[in-house]
Amino acid sequence: MPLETSWVEAANAPDCDFPLNNLPWGVMSRGDDDEPVCCVAIGDCALDLAALEAAGMFADLWDDPVFDFPFLNAFMELGRPAWDEVRARLNGLLAVDGEDALSGDLALQSMALVPLASARLHLPFVVVEYTDFYSGMQHARNAGAILRGGDDALPPNWLHIPLGYNGRASSVVVSGTPIRRPLGQIMAPGAEAPGFGPSARLDFELEMGAVVGAPSDPGRPVTVAEAEDMIFGHVILNDWSARDIQMWEYVPLGPFQGKAFGTTISPWVVSTAALAPFRRAAPPRAVPVLPYLEEAGPGLYDIALTATLTPEGGDPTVIARTNYSVMYWSAAQQLTHHAVGGCPMRVGDLLGSGTISGVERGSWGSLLEASWGGREPLTLVGGETRGFLADGDTIAMTGAAQGDGYRIGFGACTGAIKAAHAEHPAKR
């Protein structure tokens, strides 16, 4: 599919993340005192959907406002027909040869188009529940070899089932929100009992997140095809991890405090419609999947991803370059498995893909892997070394699907590490 040209000139640049082909969904405000509203990104601007709604652009589609809110959930609840109709209508309003209801109305343009440089971006939807999966084969193998050693690095059930755990929706934050180093119990090597203090092995995980925009009924499984139709779009996701806290607590029940302190997502939700030209098939299956997890077509996407680490006052170092298409389980398969036992899915559920790591070193999406458990620290631009994250470090993740003369971007997913609280309140 070629570039769709827009009268918003910046959207036609080959290196623009937000061409007319994209139109990602978000939430923005014009300043600290303005109420957030729903928007889409086009070129170097955010288009205020609440302003278009007030001008009657969607009056034939619904009665009550859905965009004059600080979240996308009310719009998502309308379902895929509404998502597709609004996307088509926006395309018509913004295309260079489209209708002139917006391009010919300078007053409405002035009200609705906000420069991204001056817009404040917010968490784009209310995260109702958060589930993180473990669906990257190379990451699972690397992590197993580092943490357990031996030849059984891949768990025996991993090839049969999309493994996951229920995380914390309350600690999901939008890009740019600082992350405080967590406190917790840590069992030091050779110690007989755990100590308490700040994590010394703080890490990031480069992931994608799928946003559920349609619910499922309690007790009713969904098919992979139905799951595909339930997914509103995708974000870049950083599942921050405290490896030393995680190691002490994860047997037998899995991650808890080592993951619960923070998850960062990019501010824009890229629709499945925008990503449709970039679908890719999953890698060859090592064993046949059970029928309920079989896909009729390609379920992954060709999205190139990069993670950089920038120390405070320093320059960025690329830690990982990888691609979402290396995953073993797709978001639709994850969603299908999530609901197969009867678990009801809700509008605003967020599903983390699991760490995205390629086969080669340099494509591993965590410091746990890149530094091989801290035993082989990385040398950064400027000469500092890192096994795990230091206070003041910033992790920035970017991603895009490359089209013919255009790219479908997500915006940056960034977070800087703040020092842990000096002490626990119980000591005061």
How many Å apart are CA 59 and CA 184, to the nearest integer?
52
Residues 298, 294, 286, 345, CA torsion sign: positive
**Residue ranges of domains in the chain, CATH in brackets:** 9-121 (2.30.30.230), 130-427 (3.90.850.10)
- Distance between alpha carbon 228 and the CA centroid of its chain, in Å? 17
Q: What would the mean pLDDT of 15-32 be, rounded to a whole number? A: 95
pLDDT at position 416 over 90: yes
Tell me which residue of 347, 351, 270, 269 sits closest to 78, measured CA to CA.
Answer: 347
The model's confidence at residue 150, banded by pLDDT at 50, 70 and 90, is low
Q: Is the model's pTM score more than 0.85? A: yes
366-387: pLDDT as tens digits: 999 999 999 999 999 999 999 9
Owner of token pair 């009268």 = 7
257-293: pLDDT as tens digits: 999 999 999 999 999 999 999 999 998 998 999 999 9
How many Å apart are CA 82 and CA 86, to the nearest integer?
6
161-195: pLDDT as tens digits: 999 999 999 999 999 999 999 999 999 999 999 99
How many Å apart are CA 415 and CA 34, to the nearest integer?
24
Helix (H, G, I), strand (E, B) or coil at 185: strand
The model's confidence at residue 148, banded by pLDDT at 50, 70 and 90, is confident
Question: Residue 108: phi, psi to the nearest 5?
Answer: -70, -40
How many Å apart are CA 178 and CA 325, to the nearest integer?
29
Catalytic residues: 139
- Give the contacts of 394 (CB within 8 A, at least 6 positions apart): 309, 310, 312, 414, 415, 416, 417
pLDDT at 31: 76
54-96: pLDDT as tens digits: 999 999 999 999 999 999 999 999 999 999 999 999 999 999 9
